[in-house]
Chain A
């Protein structure tokens, strides 16, 4: 079994396949996998040479053998994989010596597509493609699956899950890093390590992209973070070009010497990638044979990660933003009910800008499909922030789905000492990876003393061990009790915090603000308690990073405890600070019309507030806002105002509207019912900036926009139109290839919702084209859509 040897003795992989096939006549762009059947002898010969050169592991010629990359009508994927594995086995029969340990692995490369939300490939579609290949490979009798040349953590997660859930094969993973030590999708070494260790692969490492020398610093970093055996398969140097051909110029001797160094640094399986030949591998095995591998050291760090970064919970306290949570927030609840995902994303962005390191995500609300919303929010948040997320739910289904779809190693909130809870949560952590918050309560409730809480923490840590989950992935929350009802609450919590840390050496979190429930001026108590908890060694506080009081505590603590070198951050934050009383709302000398025309957002808000003291909302709208918007809109039409200015005015007007709206809400005034318009960027199209511009302007003019986003299925548009009784739909498309789906959408609407008007816009369209596909209106710019909407909906 390969697993028994990985990390214990030095193993040799093979070298490049593509380069050798090209020498034998494979053309760039031709599918190398077809050669398994059509040029069988050539493929076998290459495998044979590698075994002769001393390789223990040979990868079958299946790099692109997945349904998303391999399109060929003549052969099925199964035929290809069976033949490929057979060829590798034949190579072993011909080339390996009797005493030579040999393994055949399925070579699993990327799909060549980018996953959503950045690209258009669904996570589950990637998963299914990999699953098909893995199942075939097991049938064909491979020893393990080697996933390689991956540059996206999300895709690699889909691949690993596909292999693990559908086969019993061991799985190893190597990824491509660039010279900055990053993946093409931005991931760092610790982020990759955290994810793959969480998914419990058997070995990890580096391949392709770089030569052996350039890989060394990245290897060094990987050795520092991982507790897994490391595989290194460099190219024969960096790619060079001559006469239009790519070539690599690190020779066999030089390559082999570098590989010796790489083994000394900590690699325990080595081989080559692009440009390496049987000769490279032969010299490498000769030079390295007999070398002892460095023992893989266990790492203690508590790490969570996203696609782009890893966050280590260490001595310096971190901030977990608590704002994505409906509890006690009317607006947030409403956003959830109305499926206003953008609102939730903005909460995330704000917290990131204010300094959060991890974002807690809780979307639990009765009457909504929590699992579906959680999944959507997780995916969307990861398209705007690279902060790791903390999945916060009591719904096991929502937790599993979120953990599956999450790109990284998440924080999980939470497990507790109840057997029932541990039985649900730990299998998920074992499967998907994660650091889990352990609440110190059990069937008997929350112990009133510190000792009791510490004991529960111990029980949870023991139970986790049964699943192979180490205590570094358990982050204990000794629970904050409200001091107004429990006078000793804070003392007990602080005592337990220190005890649990010392007893088990675990990291800790606390939801801080609960301490002050029922008291006036809560930020005062919260901030002080927060400082006290940090002094007791709190690893991460779950707080509101927009709370000035909390952030003052935080930055002061870092400065005081020398976590903020030269007090740099503190100085940056507070050097310019002015006493609160000195801050005056600006814009006192400007009228609202001017503020909007100039696009001054803050001023527009302040002035509206002041105007509200003597005027009615409607008066303000009619006297200042509508004239301002008209002036700007006309200017845009005449070519004197340009898009950025038009949108700045729109944002300023929006700010003013929101001030007026707030007033109307507090007064309980009946608000005018708004006409609804559906906007969508059509199926297949992912460029939605034009649609978003139109949205902002339509909202300005008092329409309610139902924004279905980009790449929207015609059926979804129709469904929304019917459900909401919509009479105007706006569609955008950027390219000729997607105008066809615009046409398709219009046809469907004509047939099923004949009363609904359709306006279209986008770079590729013109009046003629719009007429051809049967649109009612072509908006050559955003303002035209507003005027058309007004004419159709009678505003």
Chain B
């Protein structure tokens, strides 16, 4: 089973349990169908970073977040990153919500896995580029993780001009649209501090049904 399929299965709540063959077939079908509608786009920019009196300043954005601060300690700059799979996914999800709810649920898990994989591959590129300059990249951290206020979506959308550059917008309640989209911050440092790339393991919500088994 490839990594993306494993992730989709995890989002469906299977944990370590065996997955029915029919579900696996549908997972495969969903990935196929998604590949026809996904129009993935991403963008990032590097900004100066300053942390003073527990205020994190990235470009013009000011953030108070202990979790993010911990993540960024020792960094001189930060990458602000945005990515989306496009509105086609939203339409496909809506379609299956009306016609086949189990498929809709599987599709949603597969789209989430697609998005993660895409963000990982973008991050790999950023890491490779930074490494060339002897710089190191911290795991990505998104508004809404821990105490990183979701309202910062607005700053990040403006800093990267996301509506114009990749078609990523947000609603009045700070939800990203298209639904399968991400914004994130990645710290850049000159020193290599060992870090897991994945975010799941570092989350404080230890009783989560979707927690990745380590």
Contacts and interface: CB of A to CB of B under 8 A. Distances in A.
Q: Do A and B bind each other?
A: yes
Nearest to A640: B17
Interface in A17-37: 27-30
Contacts of A692: 97, 101, 104
Interface in A138-193: 149, 151-152, 176, 178, 180, 182, 184-186
A239 B22 CA distance: 45
Nearest to A120: B171
Interface string B45-63: 1111000000000011100
B91 interface: yes
A384 B98 CA distance: 9
A389 to B, nearest CB: 15
A186 B92 CA distance: 13
A734 B171 CA distance: 13
B35 interface: no
A639 B15 CA distance: 10
Contacts of B60: 27-30
A645 to B, nearest CB: 6
B150 A736 contact: yes
A642 B12 contact: yes
Contacts of B213: none
A696 interface: yes
Nearest to A736: B150
Given A244-B45, A642-B14, A735-B173, A27 B59 contact: yes
A113 interface: yes
Contacts of B167: 151-152, 184-185
Interface stretch (A313-321, A341-349, A424-432, A496-504): A341-349
Interface string B167-204: 10111111101110000000000000000000000000
A599 B155 CA distance: 46
B127 interface: no
Interface string B98-119: 1111101110100000000000
A328 interface: no
Given A186-B87, A345-B98, A737-B174, A151 B47 contact: no
Interface in B113-168: 144, 150-151, 155, 157-159, 163-164, 166-167
A207 B67 CA distance: 41
A186 B172 contact: no
A244 B45 CA distance: 5
Nearest to B43: A239
Q: How large is the interface on A (under 10, 10 to 19, 20 to 34, 35 or more residues)?
A: 35 or more
Contact of B177 (A110, A120, A650): A120
B12 A186 contact: no
Given A30-B60, A120-B171, A149 B104 contact: no
A349 B177 contact: no
B102 A118 contact: no
Interface stretch (A78-86, A451-459, A682-690): A682-690
Contact of A735 (B87, B93, B150): B150
B127 to A, nearest CB: 15
Secondary structure of the A contact surface, majority rule: loop
A685 B93 contact: no
Given A686-B179, A687-B179, A110 B164 contact: yes
B20 interface: yes
Contacts of A693: 101, 105
Contacts of B177: 114, 118-120, 686
A687 B91 CA distance: 13
Contacts of A384: 91, 94-95, 98
B12 A643 contact: yes
A765 to B, nearest CB: 13
A355 interface: no
- Most-contacted residue by chain A among B14, B41, B91, B102 (CB, 10 A): B102
Given A118-B177, A185-B87, A643 B47 contact: no
A692 B102 CA distance: 10
A651 B100 contact: yes
A117 B39 CA distance: 19
Contacts of A383: 90-91, 94
Contacts of A706: none
Contacts of A29: 59-61, 155, 158-159
A208 interface: yes
A642 B13 contact: yes
Contacts of A349: 95, 98-99
Nearest to A688: B97
A687 B175 contact: yes
- Most-contacted residue by chain A among B22, B61, B105 (CB, 10 A): B105
B73 interface: no
Contact of A696 (B46, B95, B101): B101
B108 A120 contact: no
B169 A644 contact: no
Secondary structure of the B contact surface, majority rule: mixed
A640 B20 CA distance: 11
Contact of A689 (B105, B150, B166): B105
Nearest to A345: B98
B65 interface: no
Interface string A219-263: 000000000000000000000010111100000000000000000
B26 interface: yes
Contact of B39 (A149, A182, A246, A386): A182
A516 interface: no
B150 A737 contact: yes
A505 interface: no
A639 B106 CA distance: 18
Contact of B86 (A110, A186, A741): A186
A151 B169 CA distance: 12
B172 A684 contact: yes
A112 interface: yes
A735 B143 CA distance: 12
Nearest to B78: A244
A532 interface: no
B42 interface: no
Contacts of B157: 112
Contacts of B171: 113, 119-120, 684, 686
Nearest to B151: A737
A648 interface: yes
Contacts of A182: 39
A645 B164 contact: no
A261 to B, nearest CB: 26
A386 B174 CA distance: 27
Contacts of B61: 29
Nearest to A689: B108
A647 interface: yes
A738 interface: yes
B74 interface: no
Given A149-B164, A644-B23, A689-B108, A684 B98 contact: no
Contacts of B158: 28-29
Contacts of A114: 87, 163, 169, 177-178
The 4 A-B residue pairs with the shortest CB-CB distance, nearest first, are A244-B46, A184-B167, A647-B102, A684-B173
Given A642-B23, A643-B12, A684-B175, 12 more contacts: A113-B170, A120-B171, A186-B39, A244-B45, A383-B91, A384-B94, A386-B91, A639-B15, A642-B14, A644-B12, A645-B20, A648-B102
23 contacts: A28-B159, A29-B59, A118-B90, A120-B171, A151-B164, A178-B41, A184-B41, A241-B45, A241-B46, A342-B98, A349-B95, A642-B19, A643-B105, A644-B12, A644-B26, A644-B102, A645-B20, A651-B100, A651-B102, A689-B108, A735-B175, A738-B173, A741-B173
Interface of A: 27-30, 109-110, 112-114, 117-120, 149, 151-152, 176, 178, 180, 182, 184-186, 208, 241, 243-246, 342, 345-346, 349, 383-386, 599, 639-640, 642-645, 647-648, 650-651, 684-689, 692-693, 696, 734-738, 741
Interface of B: 12-15, 17, 19-20, 22-23, 26, 39, 41, 45-48, 59-61, 77, 86-88, 90-91, 93-95, 97-102, 104-106, 108, 144, 150-151, 155, 157-159, 163-164, 166-167, 169-175, 177-179
